[in-house]
Amino acid sequence: MSNEMQLKYGCNPNQKPSRIFMKDGSELPIEVLNGKPGYINLLDAFNGWQLVKELKEATGLPAATSFKHVSPAGAAVGKPLSETEAKIYFVDDLGELSPIACAYARARGADRMSSYGDFTALSDTCDAITATMLAREVSDGIIAPDYTPEALEILKTKRKGTYNVIKIDASYKPAPIETKEVYGVTFEQGRNEFEINHALLDNIVTDNKDIPEDKKIDLLISLITLKYTQSNSVCYVKDGQAIGIGAGQQSRIHCTRLAGNKADNWWLRQSPQVLGLQFVDDIRRPDRDNAIDVYISDEYEDVLAEGTWQNIFKVKPEVFTREEKKAWLAKNDNVALGSDAFFPFGDNIERAHKSGVKYIAEPGGSIRDDHVIMTCNKYGIAMAFTGMRLFHH
């Protein structure tokens, strides 16, 4: 290790010179085992590592995240996959998965379109089965506290030997004050060391006071994910994994809709209509993912048109009608939702309800909290006020 690493360029090729370094002269907390990570790769790596480290500490379960442009596309803990989940994440051919492999499959599989070309972070040692899953996805790199010899050999073959593999010192603790420069001006603030734990969910302000233990874990996953998601942000979670993350929207309702639409797509992919799709044998994984995304959208004709569908499917699928999609979406329930700042209006709750949300954690503090609570009560939603904003920029 050293205290400096030269990079090819910054965010864009014209931004040179570029490097990362330790201002205090200490050694960098990472070791590059393969490849040559870039500026954005390392931003994703460090943010992703913090997320999975905190998820592991809060839940006791191995955690993984899939990062794109300094926000997570997915995050999850290592709960076993159902048969349907293994199929929609395209890992049903791999046999029994380790807990960290389950976490990665969930994190990568939640929003496969957004995860294309991602950077992965794992809380635990990367094993061979996880490396095998990574090897067949379009991905820029991985950061983890360690790698088994078998996993490292597999990863070193990816991208013609250039895949970025980073080992981080799990005991590294950054300085309590952080700085960055914008337009030549230095900004300084204390690091956001706020611990997200079960006590944060004690102030339940709705008529429904019942949040089961597994749903509290889902709410903690949503809040920790939001801590490292560009604001405004909201996160839908179900059964140990984020299923819809909305990042960087100026309007919270637009963020809630964006994340809700992603959560809906995750659920639609489990429908009989999608599970029954018969793809041509040689279709590329990204082309298959895109075809599914288009098929369940209002633009379905783009993949069902004559002369087009034959390149994608063995058998032309029936149209997945709006009525059929609505009926299937109505079956999704017990979803948890976190918000990095208060909901200013009840319209966010109305939209969340449409995606099966039954549990919410948000800071509270809006002058319209009473209306937001009233809307939750209308649907029997249990909501906790955390009292803590989680903006990230």
Catalytic residues: 68-69, 232, 393
Alpha-carbon span 140 to 73, nearest angstrom? 14
**CA dihedral (343, 344, 345, 347) positive or negative:** negative
Q: Helices in the chain by DSSP H: which ranges?
A: 39-59, 83-88, 99-109, 128-135, 149-156, 213-227, 252-268, 272-275, 285-295, 301-304, 322-329, 347-354, 369-379
Rg (CA), the chain: 21
Distances (CA, A) of 28 to 1, 44, 146, 147: 6, 16, 16, 19
Q: How far apart are the first and last CA of the chain?
A: 29
CB count in 10 Å sphere of residue 346: 17
Tokens of 38: 């870039």
Q: Concatenate the DSSP letters of all residues of 67-107 into one string.
A: EETTEEEEEEE-PPPPHHHHHHTT-TTS-S--HHHHHHHHH
Alpha-carbon span 258 to 388, nearest angstrom? 23
Q: What is the largest CA-CA distance in the chain?
A: 63
Residues 6+ apart with CB under 8 A from 60: none
Q: Phi and psi (nearest 5°) for 43?
A: -60, -45
